[in-house]
Structure 1
Amino acid sequence: MSKRFALDGKVAVVTGAAGGIGQAIARSLAKRGCNVALADLNDEGLEQTARLIGNSVRVTRHKLDVANADAVAAFPAIVKTAHGHVDIVVNNAGVALGGRFDQLTEEEFDWVVGINFQGVVRMSRAFLPLLKEREQAQLVNLSSLFGIIAAPGQTAYAAAKFAVRGFSEALRNELLAEKSPVGVTVIHPGGVKTGIAQNARVAAAVTEAEKAVAQVRFAKALKMPADEAGEIIVRGIEQRRPRVLVGSDAKLASVVERIMPVGYWRLLGRMA
């Protein structure tokens, strides 16, 4: 499988494209001449992303809930009608939820997993047949720093992001074994400056005092500009890299976790 992936003239689907990392990925792809199908639930955000990209490439906007199995199953046909084919799928859509496991209801936990993990699985299942039609194609799944390490107060989020990592790695090995043209890239962003801290939900059982402390701490950890993260991710797609660590915090966590696979939080927790 060729390592280099020329993006000019390709077609990419990007979920969660209304803002943050998804918007930055879409813009970086478009700068390289890649046509984009933008998907999100936020119509206003999709319009803004399309406006920022401009008219240099073909841009389509699609309202999509990745937690809706029927909507995801129907989506490939919609994109194929609009663009003719699909070369890249970026599964970026995600949500955040704060709270200890004993504070989360089953419904709250399942909401995170249904979007952050099941959404990735649904999109992968739906688009793989189209991707396999191409000479080269790439499936790009967004995990997280918390798909490498698991922080207290992030049980649902870490469970979903570790699942994305495991799913992506197993699928990559299956596709390699069948000599498929489809590569799989798993992305582990660290603290990227987006609206995720402000938009994150907290468990209903979390007190206002706990919520305020967590939001401040979370916001301080988000340092890398989204545009910088988008460029790193798209360079990883161009190189068809199997794994992309975004930010020094993700790289540090990866090293510490390998050295201290059980006790890493004794060190990283103090640093955090």
Structure 2
Amino acid sequence: MVDRLRLEGRTAVVTGAASGIGRAIAISLARRGCHLALADVNEAGLAETARLVETARPGRAPALRVSEHRLDVSDREAVAGFPARIAGEHPRVDLLVNNAGVAVGGTFEQVSEEDFEWLFSINFWGVVRMTRAFLPVLRASDDARIVNLSSVFGLIAPAGQAAYVASKFAVRGFSESLRHELEGSRVGVTVVHPGGVATAISESARAPSGAPAEEVARQRAAFKKHLRLPPEVAGETIVRGVERRKARVLVGNDAVALSVIERVAPVSYWKLLGRVIRE
């Protein structure tokens, strides 16, 4: 049986913490007595997460150190300087949760190069740069972990999601290679593949320029139908996986099922799934 990672008294950096899965992860960590450095571009959302975190911690537990930081993970210099920014409030970091992410809808031909690069600057380069910035800090911990959020679209590749899929497969590949490189060290790596979690990602996704508004609305509504799992359930699933030192965490029954289908039919799965996803 794997020795569990004890989170009480440790410190986690969580990006994309202002809402959705990031907020849920932060709350689940707080319940376990984990100090938090919360990062996002949405300062109002961060403040609300910090408030919820305070109410989530055990009643008689020691006070948590919870700090809020406006951070754009696509900003190379801001990310490089982030460990120094939080060092005064958090002298150690044991857990890095790279959760910040965005979406761009549309086929490859519809999505502009600028939007493709914008998405990658957050979904992929944000993960890589945060990892590079914090790895030396994590190595100083006696027991540390990097948690990278991929997606169920890092397991399968639906039509009409070329940019998003590419970024999430990149996160998966980076995470798996990094885990192998860090094997034998005190830093573990977990890659997370959430299925349809009920967040605002469909509403906030960028639409291709020039796309008819009616078509954009139809596609968003169709995508949103598959977002059913409460973020709170997703956050708890992820944190339990981290405690168990799991290399891969599948979030939701849909993610579990799709991972099996992809393994059984790695080339032809879309003949079945394409029809189901469009319904």
Q: TM-score range by the shorter chain?
A: over 0.9
Aligned to 1:33: 33
Contact 1:10 1:86 in 2 (8 A): yes
Aligned to 2:216: 211
CA deviations over 1:180-220 (Å, ceiling 9, x no partner): 10000000000000111111111113221220111111110
Aligned to 1:244: 249
Aligned to 2:122: 115
Please point out which of 112, 123, 141 is paired with 1:105.
112
CA deviations over 1:42-75 (Å, ceiling 9, x no partner): 0000000001111741100000000000000000
What are the residue-to-residue correspondences of 1:153-168 with 2, within 5 Å?
153-168=160-175
CA RMSD of aligned residues (A): 1.2
1:271 aligns with 2:239: no
1:143 aligns with 2:131: no
Aligned to 1:253: 258
Aligned-partner SS, 2:13 = strand
Aligned to 1:73: 80
Alpha-carbon distance in 2 for matches of 1:20, 1:260 = 32
Alpha-carbon distance in 2 for matches of 1:167, 1:187 = 12
Alpha-carbon distance in 1 for matches of 2:25, 2:209 = 33
Alpha-carbon distance in 2 for matches of 1:149, 1:100 = 15
TM-score, normalised relative to structure 1: 0.97
Alpha-carbon distance in 2 for matches of 1:3, 1:205 = 53
Paired amino acid for 1:13: V
Contact 1:79 1:85 in 2 (8 A): no
Please point out which of 83, 87, 109 is paired with 2:90.
83
Aligned-partner SS, 2:255 = helix
Aligned to 2:48: 48
Alpha-carbon distance in 1 for matches of 2:6, 2:171 = 26
Alpha-carbon distance in 2 for matches of 1:115, 1:233 = 21
Q: Quote the offset at 1:142 in angstroms.
A: 0.1
TM-score, normalised relative to structure 2: 0.95
CA deviations over 1:132-167 (Å, ceiling 9, x no partner): 111110000000010000111110000000000000
Paired amino acid for 2:22: G
Size of the aligned set, in residue pairs, is 270
Aligned to 1:184: 189
Contact 1:143 1:161 in 2 (8 A): yes
Aligned to 1:200: 205
Provide runs of 4+ in structure 1 moved above 3 Å: none
Alpha-carbon distance in 1 for matches of 2:11, 2:209 = 41
Aligned to 1:129: 136
Which region of structure 1 is more displaced relative to structure 2, 198-207 or 107-116?
198-207
Contact 2:65 2:89 in 1 (8 A): no
Aligned to 2:237: 232
Contact 1:104 1:205 in 2 (8 A): no
Contact 2:103 2:119 in 1 (8 A): yes
Paired amino acid for 1:73: A
Which region of structure 1 is more displaced relative to structure 2, 53-62 or 94-103?
53-62
Quote the sequence identity (%): 57
